[in-house]
Chains A and B, each alone.
Chain A
Amino acid sequence: QVQLVQSGAEVKKPGASVKVSCKASGYTFTSYGISWVRQAPGQGLEWMGWISAYNGNTNYAQKLQGRVTMTTDTSTSTAYMELRSLRSDDTAVYYCARILKGYFQHWGQGTLVTVSS
């Protein structure tokens, strides 16, 4: 069965960086893209960007351009999302999701990132 297992919760200070991992199993990793979505406390879902696990092509949300980098390691079937220059409003649960034809077919369990001084 398809599984996306994310790394554990993080606490970071403003200005720091965080890197969240998403390990895929149960399917051919390079056959699907991975998107990252975040959810601030009590808020809705915000798309952050997408990466092709096939060739590494990326597309990022405009508001995060310059602060976010998405990568994959095909040898371990793992996707990564790094967010730099963290601010308090980056506090959120971060999800990875496998993409099929544009919709989010399978989701990771989420990683809480807390930004606090």
Chain B
Amino acid sequence: EIVMTQSPATLSVSPGERATLSCRASQSVSSNLAWYQQKPGQAPRLLIYGASTRATGIPARFSGSGSGTEFTLTISSLQSEDFAVYYCQQYNNWPPDTFGQGTKLEIK
């Protein structure tokens, strides 16, 4: 089973600044990596798939990069609605689908 490790666990950033979240796979997942955003009391929402393709309706301030074992989600200028928990998920070696443990993005 591929283990996904996200860092940091918590990230404190001021509105308007850039946030960089990391996700590492225990073995290569090629570009089969997705990112999700989850707000309290809500279901997760797909942000990025294929490591770098934004899902429908996702603002351009969200971008994904990486391949193999190292991935990054960047939010270029944080808006108030962006403070949430973010999860990465690999879908290269399935089953099982595996998620990272999440990064909580909080207001500084």
Contact partners of B96 in chain A: CB under 8 A: 47, 61-62
Most A C-beta atoms less than 10 A away, residue of B36, B43, B94: B43
A35 to B91, CA, bound (A): 12
Interface string of B75-102 (1 = CB under 8 A from A): 0000000000001010110111111111
Q: Does B21 contact A (CB under 8 A)?
A: no
Cβ A50 vs Cβ B95 within 8 A: yes
Cβ A104 vs Cβ B36 within 8 A: yes
Cβ B91 vs Cβ A44 within 8 A: no
Cβ A45 vs Cβ B45 within 8 A: no
Interface string of A56-90 (1 = CB under 8 A from B): 00010110000000000000000000000000000
With A35-B97, A104-B36 as contacts: A45 and B87 at CB distance below 8 Å = yes
Instruction: Determine how close the nearest CB of chain B comes to the CB of A108; give it in whole angstroms.
Output: 7
The interface size bin for chain A is 20 to 34
Cβ B95 vs Cβ A105 within 8 A: no
Where chain B touches its partner, the secondary structure class is loop
Interface string of A77-115 (1 = CB under 8 A from B): 000000000000000000100001111111111100000
Cβ B43 vs Cβ A103 within 8 A: no
Query: Looking across the interface, which residue of chain A has its beta carbon closest to that of B91?
Result: A102
A18 to B22, CA, bound (A): 37
Cβ B46 vs Cβ A104 within 8 A: yes
Cβ A107 vs Cβ B44 within 8 A: yes
Query: Looking across the interface, which residue of chain A has its beta carbon closest to that of B6?
Result: A44
With A103-B34, A104-B44 as contacts: A44 and B95 at CB distance below 8 Å = no
